[in-house]
Amino acid sequence: MKTTILRYSVYSAIMICALFLTSWYLLEHLPRTTQEILGYASMIVSLSFVFFGIKYYRERENEGKISFKRGLTIGVLISLITALVFGILDVIYVEVLNPEFMDNYYMESVQALEETLSGEALKTQLALLESQKEVFANPLFTFGIMAVTVFVIGFIISLISAWILQRK
């Protein structure tokens, strides 16, 4: 079971890193909302290795049988390792590869708020955005947010995959 988890975690982590870096280099000209949608799609595609890992374990290592609990455990562990790797990649991206990312993101957010709000509502949202900017400047926080995001998506995929693939 350990080798299956490690193998499919590596596949998933390589895929999520490759898709992230590819989108950074090739799709940087797209609007931020489109980039976010593609980011979530790349997380889902990368975490498809959860399904394949559970299926591999069932077919090749466990004689065609797997309980929901065992499948969920395998999926969660693959998701956890992938989430940790992606959290580290995100910190490297924000701190080393693209250190102006947070400032650019903040400026785009301010522009979007100014286009849609005015008066007191604008002031309130700008104050909230300013407080969030300080929190997101902490690399541990960005690591945690990105790792948890990937893990939650992976957990959902693990639940669905374990349910579909269970056989007694």
What is the structure's pLDDT at 110? 80
Tokens encoding 3: 């080798």
What is the structure's pLDDT at 125? 82
What is the structure's pLDDT at 132? 82
What is the structure's pLDDT at 124? 84
Helix 101-116 vs helix 119-136: angle between axes, to the nearest 10 degrees?
Answer: 170
Strand partners, 66: 167
Tens of pLDDT, residue by residue over 99-152, are 888 888 888 888 888 888 777 878 888 888 888 887 888 889 989 999 999 999
Residue with tokens 């693990």: 158
Whole-number Cα distances in Å, 105 to 94, 102, 124, 132, 158: 11, 5, 18, 12, 32
Q: What is the pTM of this model?
A: 0.86
What is the C-alpha to C-alpha distance for residues 1 and 9, in angstroms, rounded to an integer? 12
